[in-house]
Every structure is written in structure tokens, then in C-alpha cells.
């Protein structure tokens, strides 16, 4: 029988009246094929495309240097390789859709990602076909995770929760942000990650939303913000902690208690049936009532094959929570030029509420003390 | 005065009769704006776009969460931020082109990268405009480096050349591929890189072209192939070395002498006026005359803001070498299921020949001995 995720995609396709579903982006292709073609991440001139059509047709288009690997690792057995220098992958796609018998059908395709040039060529080749977006279809399928996906998210999430605590215990004044990042890198890789990113911001740099680690030394009195984004088998973790070197000031304590209070108020709403827009409104109202204007226009985001995916927790989204949605919540408040506060954890919605994927090993209900 | 690279792009634009030049891809936007917008690398739903028009117009479009950083770090002073949830960046682009007075002009734009959806919207908004590809324009501008670019490439190249030698001296039988990768990671970051990738393949795994490091232990008799790809200030290095644990066999020595012989034959042609197609043909002929069929369909590739860029050294390209082109040459021969051989260095074309950017610190004229 076909893999669970392919059956899920076919049933969404059929429900929407599509004859075919075509993915171009790294995340949607990897989700569909079950493995990442290395060139897909490293070389934007090499297309990797998946095609599902009707009840049974499934093919993957890859650049010829990746053909052997795709034959070994893809969920698809029909692998169509093309020569990067002499063939147009859009022609291979047109031929594939014709072979599948859907050359004049309704084709759901990543219009928000596929290059304009491929779209222009495909319309020339298949003038009878109707091309419609598949963004929402993939968003909605990916949002609700299978047990297999949840197992990986839990593994990488818990490792990240452990590592962020271990590293903050090792930080001493005088260490640079880069050296902290290096410890994080080693521990995440030793723990079984395939890769990671991290942000370390200290002192005024904690007030920069995306703070790439620098040679700045961590000093007494600094707020230190550490965000870790792990990769494991194409699934991601995202955990952030805020610490202070020495004793926090009254101002820092007060701001932090508002951040944590907002998070707890939102946790109480984290269950099936809650609209993400209401969750966001609860967050914003909690902060504003206490004199804090939220820095970001969202409270959190779905997490899976990409760090950010649906549901974004914001009032511009209409998603209602349901079981096995995985997401983060990340109360964040930056005071540019002074300091920043940020706590982020991963959650899974259960039939009756939620499971915290992270936050049990390294809680941050109070500002973590360093030194 | 405008930055040298912007003047270069404007002059290529004018020569081709374009009224505007629009970039969407991470590499072309970063090349143009002089810095990487973090979201550009991490979130495919957030567009980052540069627009040059006429003699003076220059604007950069970024998602609003990146606005402050762009105002600090971009070469462009006209920063136009959009809200990811409520605005269509293609509309912001249409408005920008209209403001620049080129709404009905000839617009060179990344048709091979911009999403089809943005193209469809842009054509609706600017029905009088003519959209043409800018792929070759960017390829050709980026291929020939400025002194500023060469200085960074030399710095990251020499670091990589040093690190690959240091790490191979530390390898002992029993160490895993992943632990070798970890040492490489630490040394590259300590040396000033912002990031890196590396491949470590030992034993039969040396015969896999892209060999992600695993938990396999390195054993006596293994061929060990180490490829390092460094990132420094958005420029890349790419250096590969092949080593043997213990004494190489006669077969290994013979294959290696053919690889190095091919490289030396090609080096003799590495100067202005040589067609890359001829360089590739020389390589292929050298190997075939000695009974070896090259594994890859190219001998090397340009290197700069991306690992792979023009000129690809292959007979499907018409580029003729000129001063300040930077490229790699990478003789590579994989015997799947047995072992693989690969040596890669970086070169800069000079007015009379070439400078080897790498290979002076850690030569690989003979197979490197481990253990």
C-alpha cells in the first residue's frame, strides 16, 4: 500500500477536484518523496519535482547526478532524470503529465514557488491544462502530523530542550557569543541532529530579533537570548530561552512575568476548537493591558519540515486547532538598543488539550541565571 | 559614488537595452544589495527583491520584520517593507517599477527564479511592460570578480586549505566520519567562517559523490575523501582532498597519478583566451586515453557567492577565460561500491595565467597518508 502521506495527499487532491498535484519546493517535495535530494538544497538551478495524478500515478523528476540516490531513497519508483545542461525540466514535467493522462486536466501546482520560466514553458506545452495553486492543499495536509512525524519532532525537540539548558549552565562571563554557538553546535550534532542553526544575542544584541552570534563577550548584567533550531531527518525544532548574567533588575523581572503570564493564558486555550486568531488576540490583549506592545505580528507558528509553517498564530489566519497540529508559541519583546526577551517552546495539540514537546527539561518560567 | 558592483550591473543593463534589472534569488539579491537578509535564506514565503532602473534608481523590497536590518546594512537607501500577511510583494514591486518610471519598459527579471504567481500578478499590473530574462546578465557580471571579492575568496580559500591538512593529520583509525566532520566544523568557525558544509566518505563510502558524514568508523585500508565548503561574508570555498589509511595499493597510486596528471595538463591551459569547453575536452581526453571514464560531466565550476556558478567547465558552455574569473577544477573518479578519488582546488585567472587560491598549504599531488 502507498505511504500514509501519499494517500493523504491523493485524498485532498480528489476532494478538491484536481487531476494532478505537482510540487517544486524543497519542503513540499521532501514531504512527498520522503527524502531530500541534496541538490535541491544546494543548487537552485537543479529542479526536483514530484507528480501525483489520479489514484495511482506517482513520479519524481530529478537532475541526473541525483538519479541513483533517488532510486535508493525516494518513496517513488518512477524516477525521471534529466540532464542539467541539455534538457529543460519543464519539458520533462510536461511529458510526465501527458504520460499520466492529465495533460488537459486541472493541475494543482506550486505557483507560489515554481519559476515563472517553467510556468511559461508548461503553458506552451500543455495549452489545454488548467493550472491552479496547491499552496493551501499542502499547508493543510502538512499541518496535521502523523504519528511517524510526531515521533521525530519529539526526538529533536527534547534534544534541543536538553541542550539549551546544558549550554546555559556552561556560560560564564567573558565567553563570546560565537563560543556559545559552538558548544550548541557540538552538542546538537552529537545528540543526533543532521544540522542546526542558532542565535545568541547578549546585552543590547539580545534586542535584535535575529541575532547571529558574534565575537562579543558576554558580560555581567547582560540579558542573553539563545535560540536553537535543530534539523533531524528533515524535521525541525525551535526553542528559545532568555537568561541574565547575575541578578535580574526589577524591570527585567516585571517584563518577564508578563511574558510568562501571557504564555500561560494562551496555554489555557491551546486545544481543539480554538481559533488561532483568538489565541493571538488573547496574547496581544494580555501584553497591552500591562503596557507592552508585542514586537511580532504573530505569537507562534506551525513546525514540521520547515521551521515556519501553518498554522501561523495570528489574526490574519482562520485555522481552528485540531489534534496533532504541532506549533510553537514564542512571546517576544524587543527593546531595541537595550535588551530583548523571548521564550519559545513546541506543542502538540491532543484531543483534549496539548502536550508540551519542550519546556519540561529546561523551563524558563523565571529568567535563567548565568554565572 | 555608487558601489562598484552596482555600477557594473547598470552598465550591463544599459548595454543590453534594459530599463530595469530585478533580482529575486538569494545569491543575486545578496550580490546586489551587499548583505543577506536572514529571512531570504530561511523562509521561502518572504520575498526579498532588488530593483535597479535607469542611471540612478535603486530600491530593495523586504518583509517588514527585516526592515530595520536592511536599513542598517543594505547598499540601498530606498527600502520598501511589506507586511507578509496582508500585502502581495508583487504589488509592491509593480508600484516600485512604476515609481521608477519604467512601468512600460523592458524589465530584465529572474524568470528562472521568481515564482510564477508573482509573474502572473506583475503582468496584470504592468500590461505594457516587457519581461525578459536576466540570468545571463547576472552570470556574466558575477563571473569576473572585483578585488574586494577576490580578497574574501582568498581568505576563506586559504583557511580551508589549512584546515583540510590539519584535520587529515589528526585522523586516526577508529574515528568516525562524523567526528572528523566535527573537528572540521570547529576549525572553520574558529578560523572566521560564518558557516560551512563538509563531506567525509571513507571506504566504499568514498565512492559516493555527495557523502554526508555518518557514524562509520574509519578503518585501515580505507580511502578517505574530505570535501569542505566554507562560507565567509557570503563568499564560498570548495576544497577536496583524498587520503588513504596506511599504504596505498598500486591500483590506487595509478589512478591517482592519472587524476593529478589530468589536473596538471588542465593547469597548463588555465589562462585568458582558453575556452572552458577546450579545458573540459583536455581533461576528458587525458582520462580516457588512460582508461578512465570521468564520473562528472564537468571538470569544475565558477565560485563566488554560490559554490557552483559560471563558468561551469564543460563542453556545453561557450565561456572563454578572462582575468579575475575564479573557479575550481575537480578531477573526480568514483568506483561505486569500492572507492572514490577526488581533488579540488580554487583558482583565479590572472592576465598571464592563474593564481592557485588553494593547494599551496595542503597539496595532494600524492594520496595523503593517514595513521
Q: Which residues of B touch A182 (CB under 8 A)?
A: 186, 189-190
Classify residue B16 by its DSSP letter. T
CB contact under 8 A, B113 and A297: no
pLDDT at A85: 81
Q: Which of residues 264-323 of B touch A (CB under 8 A)?
A: 296-297, 306-308, 312, 314, 316-317
More confident residue, B45 or A250: A250
What is the distance between the alpha carbons of residues A191 and B29, in angstroms, rounded to a whole number?
35
Q: Is A128 on the interface with B (CB under 8 A)?
A: no
d(CA A37, CA B336): 19
Q: Give the nearest partner residue to B117 out of A112, A189, A306, using CB atoms.
A: A112
Cα gap A196→A183, rounded to integer Å: 12
Residue B273 pLDDT > 90: yes
pTM more than 0.90: no
Reported as a single tens digit per residue, the pLDDT across A141-150 is 999 999 999 9
Could you tell me the sign of the dihedral formed by the alpha carbons of A138, A144, A146, A149, in that order? Answer: positive
Condensed to tens digits (0 to 9), the pLDDT of residues B196-229 reads: 999 999 999 999 887 889 999 999 999 999 999 9
Q: Looking at the predicted structure, is the pLDDT value of residue B42 above 90?
A: no
Report residue A94 as a C-alpha cell. Answer: 510536461
The set of cell numbers assigned to B366 is 600524492
Query: Which H/E stretch holds residue B249?
Result: none
- Tell me which H or E stretch contains A78: strand A78-82
Going by their DSSP bridges, the two strands B223-232 and B20-23 should be labelled as: unpaired
Q: How many residues make up chain A in this entry?
A: 371
Q: Do A359 and A347 form a contact (C-beta atoms < 8 A)?
A: no
Residues in A closer than 8 angstroms to B207, CB to CB, are none
Could you give the CA distance from residue A5 to residue B54 in angstroms, rounded to a whole number?
Answer: 50
Distance set, CA A16 to CA A88, A110, A129, A132, B230 (Å):
29, 15, 16, 11, 45
Q: Cα separation of B327 and B308, whole Å? A: 9
- Could you say which of B25, B85, B116 has the minimum Cβ distance to residue A116? B116
Average pLDDT, stretch B317-333? 97
CA proximity to B305, closest of B146, B69, B187: B146
Query: In B, residues 50-89, which contact A (CB 8 Å cutoff)?
Result: 65, 68-69, 83, 85-86
Q: Check the CA dihedral A290-A292-A293-A294 and report its sign.
A: negative
Cα gap B283→A88, rounded to integer Å = 26
User: Between chains, do A316 and B182 touch, taking CB under 8 Å as contact?
Assistant: no
CA distances from B341 to A47, A348, B209, B250 (A): 27, 47, 10, 14
Beta strands in chain B (DSSP E): 20-23, 49-53, 57-63, 78-82, 106-109, 130-133, 195-202, 223-232, 235-236, 239-245, 300-302, 309-313, 326-329, 332-335, 339-342, 345-349, 354-356, 368-370
Cα–Cα nearest to B347, from B294, B304, B314: B304
Between chains, do A115 and B115 touch, taking CB under 8 Å as contact? Answer: yes
Whether A178 contacts A197, CB under 8 Å: no
CA distances from B179 to A122, A161, A230, B91, B241 (A): 46, 23, 18, 49, 17
Q: Is the peptide bond before A311 cis (omega within 30 degrees of 0)?
A: yes
Partners of B232 on chain A (C-beta within 8 Å) are none
pLDDT tens by residue, A37-96: 988 988 888 999 999 999 999 999 999 989 988 999 999 999 999 998 889 999 999 999
Shortest Cα distance, chain A CAs vs residue B119, angstroms: 6
User: What is the phi-psi region of residue A320: left when phi exceeds 0, alpha when psi lies from -120 to 50, beta otherwise?
Assistant: beta
Residues of chain A with C-beta less than 8 angstroms from the C-beta of B39:
210
Specify the pLDDT at position B235.
96
For residue A108, the model assigns a pLDDT of 98
- B348 pLDDT higher than 90: yes
Instruction: Enumerate residues 3 to 42 of chain B having a beta carbon within 8 A of any beta carbon in chain A.
Output: 25-27, 38-39, 42
Q: Which of A112, A116, A132, A182 to mutate to test the interface with B (most CBs of B within 10 A)?
A: A116
Decide: B106 and B86 in contact? Cβ < 8 Å.
Answer: no
Who's near A34: CB < 8 A, 6+ residues apart?
A3, A5, A73, A74, A75
Q: Classify B301 as helix, strand or coil.
A: strand
Which residue of chain A comes nearest to B306, CA vs CA? Answer: A43
C-alpha cell at A225: 537570548
Of A85, A208, A317, the CB nearest to B297: A85
Quote the distance between the C-alpha of residue A174 and its chain's center.
33
- HSE-CB of B35 using CA atoms within 13 angstroms: 15
Rounded percentage of chain A residues whose pLDDT exceeds 90 = 91
**In chain B, pLDDT over 70 holds for what percent of residues?**
100
Candidates A43, A50, A3; CA nearest to A24 is A50
What would the mean pLDDT of A271-276 be, rounded to a whole number? 98
Q: Which of A85, A306, A312 sits opposite B314 (nearest CB)?
A: A85
User: In degrees rounded to 5, what are phi and psi of residue B227?
Assistant: -120, 130
In a mutagenesis test of the A interface, which of B86, B116, B179 is the best target, namely the one with the most A β-carbons within 10 Å? B116
Q: Band the pLDDT of B39: cuts 50, 70, 90.
A: confident
pLDDT at residue A121, as a whole number: 98
Q: Flag whether residue B352 sits within 8 Å of chain A, measured between CB atoms.
A: no
**Distance, CA of B114 to CA of B22 (rounded, Å):** 10
pLDDT for position A43:
85
Cell of A64: 541526473
Nearest CB to A189: which of B69, B182, B296? B182
For chain A, the first-to-last Cα distance in angstroms comes to 56
Among B45, B182, B307, whose Cβ lies nearest the Cβ of A42?
B307
Task: Give residue B3's Cα distance to chain centre.
Answer: 22
Q: How many CB atoms lie within 10 A of CB B186?
A: 15
Rounded Cα distance, A227 and A293, in Å: 21
CB contact under 8 A, A178 and B186: no
Q: What is the DSSP string of A64-76?
A: GGGHHHHHHH-S-
Q: Compute the nearest-CA separation of A183 from chain B (Å).
A: 10
Question: What is the tens place of the pLDDT at every residue in B139-154?
Answer: 999 999 999 999 999 9
Name the β-bridge partners of B226.
B200, B241
For residue A147, count other CB atoms closer than 10 A to its CB: 8
Q: Sorting pLDDT into bands at 50, 70 and 90, what band is B305?
A: very high
Put simply, the answer to whether B112 touches A45 (Cβ < 8 Å) is: yes
Residue A314 has pLDDT above 90, yes or no: yes
Q: What is the pLDDT of residue B297?
A: 87
**Range of lowest pLDDT (B65-69, B240-244, B279-283):** B65-69
Q: What is the pLDDT at residue B160? A: 98
Predicted confidence at residue A9, as pLDDT, reads 97
> What span, in angstroms and rounded, lies between the C-alpha atoms of B367 and B34?
40
pLDDT attached to residue A293: 95
pLDDT value at residue B210: 79
**CB nearest to A314's CB, from B69, B85, B112:** B85
Chain B neighbours among A 186-245 (CB < 8 Å)?
186, 189-190, 194, 197, 208-210, 212
Q: Give the DSSP letter of residue A35.
A: S
Distance CA(A252)–CA(A225), nearest Å, equals: 13
For chains A and B, CB pairs below 8 A equal 103
Q: What cell was used for B339?
A: 572507492
Inter-chain contact A307–B42, Cβ cutoff 8 Å? yes
Q: How far apart are CA A16 and CA A12, in angstroms?
A: 6
Average model confidence (pLDDT) for chain A? 96
* pLDDT tens figures, A100-143: 999 999 999 999 999 999 999 999 999 999 999 999 999 999 99
Amino acid at each position: 500500500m502507498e505511504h500514509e502521506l501519499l494517500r493523504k495527499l491523493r485524498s485532498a487532491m480528489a476532494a478538491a477536484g484536481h487531476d494532478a498535484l505537482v510540487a517544486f519546493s524543497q519542503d513540499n517535495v521532501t514531504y512527498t518523496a520522503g527524502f531530500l535530494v541534496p541538490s535541491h538544497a544546494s543548487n537552485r538551478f537543479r529542479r526536483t519535482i514530484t507528480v501525483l495524478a489520479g489514484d495511482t500515478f506517482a513520479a519524481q523528476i530529478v537532475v541526473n547526478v541525483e538519479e541513483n540516490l533517488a532510486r535508493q531513497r525516494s518513496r517513488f519508483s518512477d524516477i525521471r532524470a534529466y540532464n542539467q545542461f541539455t534538457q529543460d525540466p519543464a519539458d520533462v514535467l510536461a511529458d510526465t503529465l501527458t504520460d499520466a493522462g492529465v495533460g488537459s486536466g486541472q493541475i494543482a501546482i506550486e505557483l507560489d514557488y515554481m519559476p515563472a520560466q517553467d510556468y511559461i514553458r508548461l503553458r506552451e506545452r500543455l495549452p489545454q491544462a488548467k493550472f491552479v495553486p496547491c499552496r493551501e492543499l499542502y499547508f493543510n495536509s502538512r499541518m496535521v502530523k502523523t504519528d511517524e512525524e510526531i515521533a521525530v519532532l519529539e526526538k529533536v525537540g527534547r534534544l534541543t530542550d536538553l541542550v539549551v539548558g546544558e549550554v546555559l549552565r556552561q556560560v560564564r562571563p567573558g565567553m563570546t557569543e560565537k563560543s556559545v554557538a559552538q558548544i550548541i553546535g557540538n552538542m546538537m550534532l552529537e545528540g543526533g541532529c543532521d544540522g542546526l542553526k542558532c542565535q545568541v544575542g547578549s546585552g543590547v544584541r539580545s534586542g535584535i530579533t535575529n541575532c547571529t552570534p558574534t565575537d562579543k563577550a558576554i558580560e555581567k548584567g547582560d540579558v542573553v537570548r539563545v535560540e536553537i533550531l535543530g534539523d533531524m531527518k528533515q524535521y525541525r525544532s525551535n526553542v528559545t530561552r532568555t537568561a541574565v548574567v547575575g541578578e535580574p533588575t526589577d524591570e527585567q523581572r516585571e517584563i518577564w512575568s508578563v511574558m510568562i503570564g501571557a504564555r500561560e493564558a494562551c496555554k489555557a486555550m491551546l486545544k481543539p476548537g480554538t481559533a488561532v486568531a483568538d489565541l493571538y488576540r488573547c496574547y496581544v490583549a494580555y501584553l497591552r493591558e500591562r503596557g507592552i506592545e508585542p514586537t511580532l505580528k504573530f505569537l507562534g507558528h506551525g513546525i514540521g519540515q520547515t521551521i515556519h509553517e501553518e498554522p501561523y498564530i495570528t489574526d490574519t489566519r482562520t485555522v481552528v486547532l485540531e489534534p496533532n497540529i504541532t506549533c510553537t508559541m514564542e512571546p517576544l519583546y524587543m527593546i531595541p538598543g537595550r535588551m530583548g526577551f523571548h521564550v519559545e517552546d513546541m506543542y502538540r495539540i491532543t484531543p483534549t488539550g496539548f502536550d508540551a514537546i519542550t519546556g519540561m527539561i529546561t523551563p524558563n518560567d523565571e529568567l535563567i541565571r548565568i554565572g
